[in-house]
Structure 1
Amino acid sequence: MQVVVPVKLQPPPEVASALRAELTGCNDGANYVSTVAFETGTMREYALRKLVYAELRERGIKSAAAQRLIKKTVDAYTTLRANIRAGNFGRPGAKRRSRAESKPIAFRADAAQAYDHRNMGWDIGAQTVAITTMSGRMKGYRLPAARNSSRPSRGTAKAKPT
């Protein structure tokens, strides 16, 4: 059984700055992927990966993060297309619809980035977490304890942090 556990990391300042840089770098990469997808009309994950993966790696984005942000971008375009088809942006020619169709999707610098077992590891027994960032692997950072407990909430290696 897999348990999803909300976790708020409280890293020391030097780790927090590395995590902030990772988030900003990933979202800059997602904006690059979005621009390429928009300009080429490539909205399928595998085809888009062939176009942008090497550039993302050259920018210092690790492999698992690059794969996740390509998927994040494809999912964003899928959602946009579904909303346009459903008429949520108005009829063809409407100002709002034209604006949505005329430019690439943009990701905020602090937009969420997915982490999974490939770029984030949990050691529940030791109450620590390890995260892969653009500046390397950050290991051994303590998890905050759950309320009214000296132990963190129980989870698995595939828990989803919030």
Structure 2
Amino acid sequence: MKLTLQTQLLPTSEQAALLEATMRAFNEAANWLAGEAFARKTANKILLQKLCYAELRERFGLSAQMAVRCIAQVCEAYKRDKSKRPQFRPLAAVPYDQRLMSFKGIDRVSLLTLSGRILVPMVMGKYQQERFTAAKGQCDLVLRKDGKWFLLVTVDLPDGTKPPTTDFIGVDLGVANIATDSDGQRYSGNAVEAVRIRQHALRRSLQKAAAGKKRRGLRPKNIRRKLKRLSGKERRFRANENHRIAKSLVAKAKGTGRGIALEDLKGIRARTRFRKAQRARMGGWAFRQLRTFIEYKARLHGVDVVLVSPAYTSQTCAACGHAAKANRPSQAEFRCVVCGHTDHADVNAARNIRSIARAAVNRPKVSEQHQDLLFA
């Protein structure tokens, strides 16, 4: 499977200027080429290279391979939606392949710029170092809003060996509890919500102060710098929590020889209405990100992941199977009106998810001519 490792570059001010100039030239060239591709209604790399390669190099100063990568980048973007002309931001990521860059160990990388190659120091964490030997193919050069440079390195790792799976850890996804498993463990969302509220209040206060300064004819440079430092802080904290939860669930599944069963929540925002006070919290619910983290970590460790329908899992009794809205007297409480079974609502839902996954995996497999006898 393919993973992307984030490594930080530590260029000098002169090197950073060269990288930025290269990035701006590449994206300016991509914007011009996107207009040519849109005018001709073609995403054919061979045709665009024949028509525009020489002008790309002459007009924007790109090297031969950079011009080739620019053509490929534009064609890939235009193929996604041929009804509109692709637009490239001046500081959008720039692809670097093995002809444009080379690693000099794990602490330096040689990158091609408009003025030739430069050797840039590079740092990475232990996680990246363990997987760095599998680096393969294209990397992306990225300049973040805070002025930091990163190289996103693609690595190709083998999937883990999967043993036969007959049991699962059911996982119920939510907001108050980000995840709850069928063993009864709950991963609270209180820390994420506290960060969201604090960051929202701080941004609002700073924006109000900046607006006040502007009205008085002052330049709120210090406030803008503070807002820039805050940018992405909530998102990074949320991603870290999701990584932590995913790692814990996968480790538990691997250690007990089970798979992981998740709810398929695709389209839930479109089919669910929220009160105004809930919209900001629900808008930041990163259930898709958590699912992605679980899936790729599970593949690395040979753990099966299955998706099940979430329909009625929160209203169905895990003990007797009776389903009714009356089984949920409150958001967190489950009490079956038939058998009297009580549990935390999220734990009960996770156990239902586990049961659905187990039933699907352990269903007898029979030939088509015998299916009518099995289900008669």
> One fold, TM greater than 0.5?
yes
CA 123–2 in structure 1, closer or farther in 2 if over 3 Å, else same = farther
C-alpha separation between the residues in 2 aligned to 1:42 and 1:105? 12
C-alpha separation between the residues in 2 aligned to 1:2 and 1:44? 26
Q: Check the 8 A contact 2:30/2:71 in 1, yes or no.
A: yes
TM-superposed CA distance for 1:148, in Å, is 9.5
Residue identity over aligned pairs, in percent, reads 31
C-alpha separation between the residues in 2 aligned to 1:32 and 1:46? 17
**Could you list the runs of 4 or more consecutive aligned residues of structure 1 that deviate by over 4 angstroms after TM superposition?**
1-4
1:117 to 61, 81, 98: 98
> Normalization by structure 2: what TM-score?
0.34
Instruction: Tell me whether 1:107 sits opposite 2:88 in the alignment.
Output: yes
Which structure: greater helix fraction? 2
Q: Check the 8 A contact 1:31/1:105 in 2, yes or no.
A: yes
What corresponds to 2:179 in structure 1?
none
SS in 2 for 1:117: coil
Larger radius of gyration: 2
TM-superposed CA distance for 1:137, in Å, is 0.9
Gaps of 5+ in 2: 140-150, 153-376
What corresponds to 1:65 in structure 2?
66
CA 35–155 in structure 1, closer or farther in 2 if over 3 Å, else same = same
Say what the alpha-carbon RMSD is for the aligned residues: 2.6
1:144 to 123, 130, 135: 123
C-alpha separation between the residues in 2 aligned to 1:10 and 1:115? 17
What corresponds to 2:5 in structure 1?
5
Larger relative contact order (Cα-Cα within 8 Å, sequence gap ≥ 6): 1
1:1-162 to structure 2, matched below 5 A, reads 5-58=5-58, 59-81=60-82, 101=84, 104-124=85-105, 127-139=107-119, 141-146=120-125, 154-155=132-133, 158=136, 160=139, 161-162=151-152
Q: Deviations over 1:65-108 (max 9, x none)?
A: 11111111111111013xxxxxxxxxxxxxxxxxx54xx32110
C-alpha separation between the residues in 1 aligned to 2:127 and 2:94? 29
Gaps of 5+ in 1: 82-99
> Normalization by structure 1: what TM-score?
0.74
Q: Deviations over 1:103-153 (max 9, x none)?
A: x3211001111111110110116x2110001111112x221242599x797
What letter corresponds to residue 55 of structure 1 in structure 2? E
